[in-house]
Structure 1
Amino acid sequence: MFWRFGFNNSALDGLLDKADVTLEEVLEEEDLLQEAKSANPKLIEFLCKPDKIKALLNYIIATDLPEPQKFKYPFLASEIIACEIQQMIDMIVIDHKEELLVPFWSYLDRQAQPTRRASDPITIVETGLDSLQASYFCKTIGVLLSKYPVEMMHFIKSDSENLNKILAHLQTSAIMDLLLTLIRMEELSEGKGIVKWLSEHGLLENLIDRLDPYLDSEEHSIAQQCICEIIRMSQTSLPESLSIGLNDLIINLKSEPTMQKLAKFMLDPDAPNATSTLVNGVSIIIDIIRHNNADLENDPAVTGLYGYSTSTIRPKPVSLADMLKVMSDHIPQFTQLLLKPRSVNGPVHTTLGDIEPLGFERLKICELFAELLHCSNMSNLNNFNRMNDEEDQQQKEETRIIKIDGDELSVGDYLKSKFVSSKAMPICVDLFFAFPWNNFLHYVIYDMLHQVFNGRMDVGLNRQLAISILKEGQLTDKIVIAQKANDEECAKPKGMRAGYMGHLTFISDEIMKLFEGYPETIVLAIKDDVNMESWSTYCNNELKETKERDQLPLGGLRPSEDMDLPQTDDEEDNDNTLDGVAASQYSRFLAQRESEGNFDEDDEDESDLWLTGREDFNGRYEYAGNTIRLNNEEGEEYDSNDEEDNTTPDWPRDYSKFSQPNALCRIPSHNNEEYEEDFEELEKKEDFGDFESATNEITNQMEALDVNKNNDVVKEEEKKSETSEKHA
């Protein structure tokens, strides 16, 4: 509110002047928060007393307030502390910590919601912390952390049970945010060491245990969200984003024991909620790979875009060899779930009929395979032959060498060998064609095929994996069959195009590039098992027609500069106005010439030239862009001026210059019988000069006139007329 004289005592000041004023009376004032934010001295002096601060903190966590005050007082108390009044924060954290902060922190000692198991009945009664009250509590703790990070970190780490108190209430979203806030403190110099303390006290182990397939699916979702947030805060892939970097939590998460435990949870055949564990576990693995891409430092697009050097992007790369090794060992079990999913119980009625659903379980397994392929192609997982003295130890830790039948394989090739032996890629190809309307699946399968077909066929096991797809998966034959079935369906009345046809075109392009790049390595190896004749026919006919059709603009041909565009009503009105102005000027011109008595057929011809600015009605010129050619035997080129070609005549203002039109036509106002014969005679004339020659001719005629002489003649005639009048 603005006051005329710039100052006015608020009602709160008058209230604070009373000797027996209570905190409840102050909280009932409407302008309390405004005065607190503006640092009212009287209000600060009143609030910054130990008993008043203790009362405010108690209001935030109280459970026995009367109904009118149940929501108002906790909100006002948290907002007052959020004003960051320095005297108040000092008293809470430093001066009276035992009397104020410790009782306030005991809010986490309250009974938590019990961990639900899959067999527990669903109850409507909610237990645990109130979500609104918990948000006020976490907001207050966040203010204290921002003002005194060192003191608050020391207070939290002083009791090892504080982490367990937080984890007990992890079902409350505000408490999870508080835990993530503590982890983010690692970014500050004052908060260094908090992640190590959390890791030492079993944070990650507690979160992984929540993915137990015998627990409720809500527990799985909570653990997955928390772990994925930790992964994103620790990412090493995006140099422009804030990150706490590689830390003990991530090292523990990607370790072999943790991954073995997670894989055991996901693949438990008897657990009731194993599917939920698998879905959430795959999301965790995907986030680990995507946010720790070891090849980003070699990506020229990233280094060029952000201007980073190789040393500044990733000083400490993350090795995912242990995780990839564990997942590779379980590829056969994951592949078996593609054939016999646990979450699908028969067909489902849809608008397309009764069909068997793909299921989220199978989709997530395909996504897992695609991400594992990305991980297997990382250079630090395949370069075990390129070690130097300085990086020997680090490279040995990052690269696992696995022996199979006496052959040494990198962990990346070990994964591909498991894909080949378990026929994972051919099964994924079968799923692609079995679910023609699931575009999520189509995109994931295309991503896998794109990675395989664009890999080097002379290095590692990429060649065996590609041959497995083409030979055992019969990919080319299935594409040809799918194309024919789609054409037959589209030919029927109200036929519908299959949903995977767009991705089939992309996959066919990848296969063509593969065959062209490795004709001996790939084509010779599969020619006896693949119908190359039908594939060649498909490429030369259906695929070629599809690509040509896809390259056409959706609206037809691309408009050129000379193409006439359809006019709107406003443009037509402007054209009509322009035509009317031209007609009026032309009529005045004819009337003026006729009044002078010099109007004849030649003048009529010249007047017609005024409309066009050129004398080419006889078709002696050809127009091609900005070049004009004469239709004569010599074929001489007319030297046109580009600037004049691109100008637009401004009829009402200037008639001295005219653009060279690409299309000569008469304006509608002169298409009448009165001038029809004049135009016909004009068009029959063969020899016309252009506008420049006509202008030069007029100029020469004007120069030939002696204007001064004409003026003398006029003066003599005036004198004679005056003399005759005097005599009269």
Structure 2
Amino acid sequence: MFWKFDLHTSSHLEALLDKEDVTLIELMNEEDVLQECKAQNRRLLLFLCQNQCMQDLVRMITTEPPAGVEETKRFKYPNIACELLTCDVGVINDKLGNEEPLLETLYAFLEQPSPLNPLLASFFSKTIGNLITRKTEQVISFLRQKDGFLSLVLKHIDTSAMMDVLLRLISCVEPPPLRLETLIWLNEEKLAQRLVELIHPERDEERQSNASQTLCDIIRLSRDQANQLQEISQPDPLLTVLEQECVEQLLQNMFSANSTESCIINGIQVLLTLLEIRRPGFEKSYTVNSSILLAIQPHLIHFHQLLLKPPKRNPMLTTLGVLEEPLGNTRLHVARLVASLLYTSSASHAVVAQELCRLNTMDLLLDLFFKYTWNNFLHLQVELCVAAILRPCPHQDVSQEQALTDTPSEPSATPENSAHNLMVTHLFEHCHLVQRILEAWEENDKIQSEGGMRRGYMGHLTRIANTVVHNLEKGPVHTQIRLPEDYRGRWETFVDQTLSETNRKNTIDLIGTGNPRPSSEDDMESPFPKELTLQQAFSDYQIQQMTANFVDQFGFNDEEFTDHDDSIGATFDRIAEININIDANTAVFEACSKERIHPFDDDEEDIWEEKEINFATQTKCYKCSGFYFSTMLEVGNNICESIALSQTNVLKRFV
């Protein structure tokens, strides 16, 4: 039966190829030209690989199309040309990679004045990147002969496609000996130093941002490829220069006389990447080079001053009112940097710890923790700082999130451990951590008893309190923790009663065994019949407790909203860990189901009839199930300003 539909019709492309005067444009107008090219249609490839056709294709992707054409059609042929040149067909790769006139035409795109057309730049980047992968030796040899190649690429670094060209040269060159040779060439051209020079207050923000992102990618790629370069017993020259020579220059640019917020933030991004001991989703861990810490230590006072006097920001309107002095992206990045510094394990860590204690930076971060009640991004970083101080693992590389939950081993007497012990003493004796926890908790209880909202930091404060309790009992630094005498009794009562009760409630139970405590929101309309109120299967109160406890347990982690795909599922993996105990009365549930679910009736209206759907009537039924996803969206809308909405406030909106 398939044959009568004539699914294998002869292509109109073949008819065109039979014409003696067929043009490249005619072929490009055919819908199946790309498919036939990938299928390696011999006649089509012979036509495309003619010198004139190849020159025309390269010019299409490197020359601005004529003006006056409708924008949707203006780049039609450049786009098709790029797809044909990069469809990974051997004869096209050979023709383009072996013919120097074609490479010269392609290279001429870099010699155009700035700014480049972003779309054409992406076509150029994709084409040259494909050649670097498929015709590596020929293309690398060609580019090395061009004295101004790297200067031209950096000149156009404000166009993001140029970043891809540099990263292709670092990550897509094989075999390892040729890759090392390419890295040595790029290092001789001072690629790392020139990228650092672009992170400067006098450069435009786009150029700074792209240079910073390129450096971060180079660091990560170089570390990931370290094993392959070990085969030839020579370290990555770019990574070596970045770790040992460029940090001081970067810091000088960040804190120059006319420093800008953009320069500081982009510089911190590079420092954070250098301080990474483990990337999310990767098993391999890295050791932080001591020279990085030694370069940062003299500038800690500048970072401390940024916490005290950040760049001026305008008041921000939030759902809780006007925030006169937003925390700002700069202070959030400084907090992230301090957390990363505290997690490093290096012989130079002691000087960093001593300087942080001298500056009293942790005390200032705790002040900000309680001042910015609803900024969960800041709360997470301060929690990580406390966890790093209380749970040092100098001989065990762990991620920051792991350090919040893993049981550490007993450390040996090393300079790193001495530095950690110094920070522990500082945290309890000078920062008064225990007193702050007790006072903040009592203040929150008082506010809630008066009908106010629960403080947004309470979930993180609970985890900090649990970390302190754990280390007081059996942590590796428990001998350094000394509670003030006048607070010892209050703390023990708090741990035995208040904190214990909070932890019990955080073990989520959809259906409680006893009557729920009164709540100010228990009068919300129930989806179940009134006569089932006392025995309802999923009461409004219990949904409230489930979502509120969910926030208490997990909070919000700004690392889960990064561009790494592997991190996206982390939040939902943690949801799967919740222990849900459902012990509903079967008869009650069936009664509720019968009340809500009606069987189809032949006399009722046609269910397939097209009609307008009113989504407003459906919102109430699903507002709880969409709580977490909606919360993610709400937080995402504020991430640029680093001001997170109150978790409690979000809860009130969706429950």
Structure-2-length-normalised TM-score: 0.68
Report which structure shows greater RCO (CA 8 Å, sep ≥6).
2
> Could you tell which deviates more after superposition, 325-334 or 533-542?
533-542
User: 2-side partners of 1:166 and 1:488: how far apart?
Assistant: 60
User: 1-side partners of 2:90 and 2:25: how far apart?
Assistant: 22
Unaligned stretches of 5+ residues in structure 2: 393-410, 514-579, 596-655
User: 1-side partners of 2:478 and 2:29: how far apart?
Assistant: 86
Aligned to 2:494: 538
Unaligned stretches of 5+ residues in structure 1: 113-127, 307-312, 382-409, 574-728
Pair 1:208 & 2:210 matched: no
Give the superposition deviation at 1:254. 1.3
Aligned to 1:248: 237
AA aligned to 2:271 is I
Q: Is the 8 Å Cα contact of residues 129 and 165 (structure 2) preserved in structure 1?
A: yes
Pair 1:151 & 2:109 matched: no
2:308 pairs, out of 332, 339, 351, with 339
| 1:334-483 alignment runs, 5 A limit | 334-344=303-313, 348-355=316-323, 356-375=325-344, 378=345, 381=346, 410-455=347-392, 459-483=417-441
Give the superposition deviation at 1:497. 0.9
Q: Helix, strand or coil: the match of 1:496?
A: coil
Pair 1:174 & 2:131 matched: no
Q: Helix, strand or coil: the match of 1:497?
A: coil
Aligned to 1:60: 61
Give the superposition deviation at 1:188. 3.8
2:108 pairs, out of 106, 113, 121, with 106
Give the superposition deviation at 1:135. 2.1
Aligned to 1:39: 40
User: 2-side partners of 1:426 and 1:5: how far apart?
Assistant: 78
Pair 1:77 & 2:77 matched: no
User: 2-side partners of 1:37 and 1:220: how far apart?
Assistant: 39
Change (3 A) 1:510 1:24: closer
Aligned to 1:516: 473
Percentage of matched positions with identical amino acids: 29
Q: Is the 8 Å Cα contact of residues 236 and 291 (structure 1) preserved in structure 2?
A: no
Give the superposition deviation at 1:339. 1.8
Deviations 1:186-216 (A, max 9, x none): 4544544222211210211121111102322
User: 2-side partners of 1:13 and 1:333: how far apart?
Assistant: 70
> Could you tell which deviates more after superposition, 166-175 or 63-72?
63-72
User: 2-side partners of 1:571 and 1:64: how far apart?
Assistant: 64
Deviations 1:561-598 (A, max 9, x none): 9976634159999xxxxxxxxxxxxxxxxxxxxxxxxx
Change (3 A) 1:337 1:31: closer
Change (3 A) 1:533 1:164: same
Give runs of ≥4 in structure 1 deviating > 6 Å: 1-7, 237-240, 558-563, 570-573
| Number of residue pairs the alignment of both structures matches | 499
Aligned to 1:196: 184
Give the superposition deviation at 1:230. 1.4
Q: Helix, strand or coil: the match of 2:326?
A: coil
Give the superposition deviation at 1:473. 1.2
Aligned to 2:96: 92
Change (3 A) 1:359 1:80: closer
Q: Helix, strand or coil: the match of 2:418?
A: coil
Give the superposition deviation at 1:322. 0.4
User: 1-side partners of 2:219 and 2:170: how far apart?
Assistant: 11
| 1:235-384 alignment runs, 5 A limit | 235-236=223-224, 247-255=236-244, 257-268=245-256, 270-271=257-258, 273=260, 275-290=261-276, 318-344=287-313, 348-355=316-323, 356-375=325-344, 378=345, 381=346
Q: Is the 8 Å Cα contact of residues 133 and 172 (structure 2) preserved in structure 1?
A: no
User: 2-side partners of 1:229 and 1:353: how far apart?
Assistant: 39
Change (3 A) 1:138 1:351: closer
Pair 1:491 & 2:427 matched: no
Q: Helix, strand or coil: the match of 1:330?
A: helix
Q: Helix, strand or coil: the match of 2:511?
A: coil
Give the superposition deviation at 1:252. 1.2
Give the superposition deviation at 1:236. 4.6
User: 2-side partners of 1:85 and 1:2: how far apart?
Assistant: 31
Give the superposition deviation at 1:476. 1.5
Change (3 A) 1:421 1:563: same
Give the superposition deviation at 1:81. 2.3
User: 2-side partners of 1:93 and 1:146: how far apart?
Assistant: 11
Change (3 A) 1:460 1:184: same
User: 2-side partners of 1:364 and 1:230: how far apart?
Assistant: 21
Change (3 A) 1:5 1:522: closer
2:462 pairs, out of 505, 513, 534, with 505
User: 1-side partners of 2:107 and 2:584: how far apart?
Assistant: 78
Give the superposition deviation at 1:371. 0.3
User: 2-side partners of 1:8 and 1:562: how far apart?
Assistant: 62
Change (3 A) 1:463 1:323: same
Q: Helix, strand or coil: the match of 1:261?
A: helix
What's the C-alpha RMSD, in Å, of the aligned pairs?
3.6
User: 2-side partners of 1:429 and 1:237: how far apart?
Assistant: 39
Change (3 A) 1:564 1:325: same
AA aligned to 1:541 is Q
Give the superposition deviation at 1:418. 1.1
Deviations 1:591-646 (A, max 9, x none): xxxxxxxxxxxxxxxxxxxxxxxxxxxxxxxxxxxxxxxxxxxxxxxxxxxxxxxx
User: 2-side partners of 1:81 and 1:3: how far apart?
Assistant: 37
Change (3 A) 1:556 1:88: same
| 1:544-623 alignment runs, 5 A limit | 544-551=500-507, 553-557=509-513, 566-568=588-590
Q: Is the 8 Å Cα contact of residues 150 and 191 (structure 1) preserved in structure 2?
A: no
